[in-house]
Amino acid sequence: MNSSQGSTSRREFIKTSGKSAAFSALANVAIPPVHAAGSDLIQVALVGCGGRGGGAAANALSVKRGPVKLVAMADLFPERLASDLNKLQQHFPSQVDVPPDRQFLGFDAYRKAMDCLKPGDIAIFATPPAFRWVHFTYAIQKGLNVFMEKPLTADGPTSKRMFALAQDASAKNLKVGVGLMSRHSRALQELADRVHNGEIGEIVLQRGYRMHGPGGYFLSLPKPSGITDLLYQVKRFHSFIWASGGCYNDFYIHIIDHLGWMKNQWPVKAQALGGRHYKVSPEGVAYVDQNFDVYSVEYTYSDGTKFFFDGRCMNGCEEIYTSCLQGTKGMGIASKSGDCGLPSSLYKSQTATPADLIWESKVSPDEKDPYQNEWNDLMDAIRDNKPYNEVKRGVEASLVSSMGRMAANTGREIAFDEMLQCEHDMAPNIEKFTMDSPAPLVADTNGRYPVPQPGIVTTREY
Ligand SMILES: NC(=O)c1ccc[n+]([C@@H]2O[C@H](COP(=O)([O-])OP(=O)(O)OC[C@H]3O[C@@H](n4cnc5c(N)ncnc54)[C@H](O)[C@@H]3O)[C@@H](O)[C@H]2O)c1
């Protein structure tokens, strides 16, 4: 790998496509002996060429322990694939080798892209989450290592499937990274050690907030002509629970995940409020997505302690996007701002006043970016042949997210096991989807899809 080439432009690319904070310079990094499928080159295929897919591919091409090449790409839409390919080619000219015959489109494109790899190479999954289990099944068959984006599941049946697949992957000694990058934040890693060592006593309360204006595909207008229902729902996946778990799972999972980590367990149940307030566009057209504008969730841990999570996608309200924990001897701030924003800190009182500061994280510049760290950690495991499989806890974090969402959507307390056992398979036959398949959600004559009705529809979410 030409390590000095284009480092500034690489940095810019990663910044704009992976929310990353810093870039690990490749200059002067000696390439060690490797154990990847008998060759020192690891090839990568990207499945899902959107914002995060491009960012994850850039992180893959920037790992400390190369060499790595991107050799195949898959998407449903040619313009998405072309856009990521162009950007990656510009920023990593010597590491992108994806000629037209290794660019694949369609619901079976994932197979063709993975067919370009050899065992020990890496497949990246950055499509909407509903496809995760389908793509993972094939990667395991092919003996591929995987990096898959969060969330991993939105319902009970696919969570069970993913738990089983996680075991299959470990049985084949495959390494699997999951894009819950908080776990690779060096600040949160040190915070977890300190909290688990009792520096603020027993954790008795946690709070998480993600409140900002509508973003991503949170809102959707009725389907326009010229696109099928299925492709519309896949494209605007944050709007539809089957595709992503809705905004609740997609946006809130990071804070839910790292607060569970700090507590060293998952909540056992949730009860929640939620509502749709402003579901009409400025032009007076009703939005047809399935999201609530607000969610207020009370999670309970097995020791009776609580974790309160507030999510809001509304303009004009106060924006709060942070996570914190209260212990018997003080408090901690996990993410100062954002999903896992630096610094993390601990205080000897219940208020975050500078005079009471016990500890504030300090992270070396080349490890400030958790999106790059998660790739360096995965690559270390591959090169050194160390066990590495983040899928089980990724499914658990997805289930805890779904449990909060289902509690709000039904108006009922939902236990972790009830979420796992819930039989509502939200995207049946997804493994057989073609461009002409019917969509999992059917619109009424006004173009509206079923929305949650707490207290009325209570054994499933819609
Ligand atoms: N870890 C993070 O902080 C983070 C940040 C952003 C997104 N994500 C996750 O990454 C995933 C993608 O999100 P995004 O923001 O990049 O969305 P996006 O819409 O920008 O990209 C998704 C891409 O997948 C393609 N696609 C959809 N179904 C496909 C299929 N069956 N086969 C092949 N391609 C398919 C779409 O056409 C699109 O190009 C989501 O799971 C999201 O939660 C994670």
Q: What is the pLDDT of residues 112-137, one digit of tens each?
A: 999 999 999 999 999 999 999 999 99
Residue nearest to atom 6 of ligand 1 (CA): 52
Give the residues across from 310 on adjacent strands: 209, 296
List C-alpha distances in Å: 176 to 47, 167, 321.
15, 11, 29
In the prediction, which pLDDT does 127 show?
A: 98
Contact (CB, 8 A) for 318 and 211: yes
State residue 307's pLDDT score: 98
Residue 298 one-letter amino acid: E
74 lines ligand 1 (CB under 6 A): yes
Q: What is the pLDDT of residue 207?
A: 98
Please give the distance, rounded to the nearest whole angstrom, from the Cα atom of residue 53 to the centre of ligand 1.
6
pLDDT at 28: 36
- Burial annotation 68-95 (CB, 10 A radius, 16+ → b, else e): bbbbbbbbbeeebbebbbebbeebbeeb
Atom of ligand 1 nearest to the CA of 339: 3
Ligand 1 atom index nearest CA of 55: 16
Query: What tokens were used for 430?
Result: 């997804």
- Other Cβ atoms less than 10 A from the Cβ of 322: the count is 17
Residue 327, both tokens: 């212990």
Angle at 205 between CA 204 and CA 207, to 5 degrees: 165
Q: Are 410 and 454 in contact (CB under 8 A)?
A: yes
Residue nearest ligand 1's atom 31 by CA: 107
Nearest CA to ligand 1 atom 18: 50
* Ligand 1 site, residue 66, Cβ cutoff 6 A: no
Is the CB of residue 81 below 6 angstroms from any atom belonging to ligand 1? no
190 vs 182, 345, 360, 394, 404, CA distance in Å? 12, 10, 10, 20, 28
Per-block average pLDDT, block size 10, for the chain (462 residues)? 40 50 34 46 98 98 97 98 98 98 98 98 98 98 98 98 98 98 98 98 98 97 97 98 98 98 98 96 96 98 98 98 98 98 98 97 98 98 97 98 98 98 97 98 94 97 98
Tell me, what's the pLDDT at 6? 38
Question: Which atom of ligand 1 is nearest the CA belonging to 84?
Answer: 39
80 lines ligand 1 (CB under 6 A): yes
What sections of 173-314 are H helices per DSSP? Answer: 186-196, 229-235, 241-244, 246-263
Q: How many angstroms separate the alpha carbon of residue 389 from the centre of ligand 1?
A: 21
User: Does ligand 1 lie within 6 Å of residue 462's CB atom?
Assistant: no
Coil, strand or helix: which one is 326? strand
pLDDT of residue 25: 33
Q: Are 402 and 267 a contacting pair, CB within 8 Å?
A: no
> Which pLDDT belongs to residue 33?
37
Ligand 1 atom showing the smallest separation from residue 237 Cα? 19
Say whether 395 sits in a helix, a strand or coil: helix
| pLDDT of amino acid 36 | 53
> Ligand 1: distance of its center to the CA of 433 in Å?
17
Helix (H, G, I), strand (E, B) or coil at 299: strand
Residue 49 tokens, joined: 């060429």
CA of 48 to the centre of ligand 1 (A): 6
- Ligand 1 pocket check for 157: Cβ under 6 Å: no
CA distance 432 to 442: 18
**Residue % of the chain over a pLDDT of 90:** 91
311-354: pLDDT as tens digits:
999 999 999 999 999 999 999 999 999 999 999 999 999 999 99
pLDDT score, position 34: 35
Cα separations in angstroms, 223 against 228, 428, 433, 441: 8, 22, 19, 12
pLDDT digits (tens, 9 = 90+) for 190-221: 999 999 999 999 999 999 999 999 999 999 99
pLDDT of residue 142: 98
- SS3 state at 122: strand
Ligand 1 atom nearest to CA at 49? 39
Of 19, 35, 44, 298, residue with least CA distance to 182: 19
The DSSP H or E segment spanning 253 is helix 246-263
Q: Taking the CA of residue 374 as centre, how many other CA atoms within 13 Å lie in the half-sphere pointing to its CB? A: 27
- Cβ of 234 less than 6 Å from ligand 1: yes
Ligand 1 site-directed mutation target among 15, 20, 47, 52, most atoms within 8 Å of CB:
52
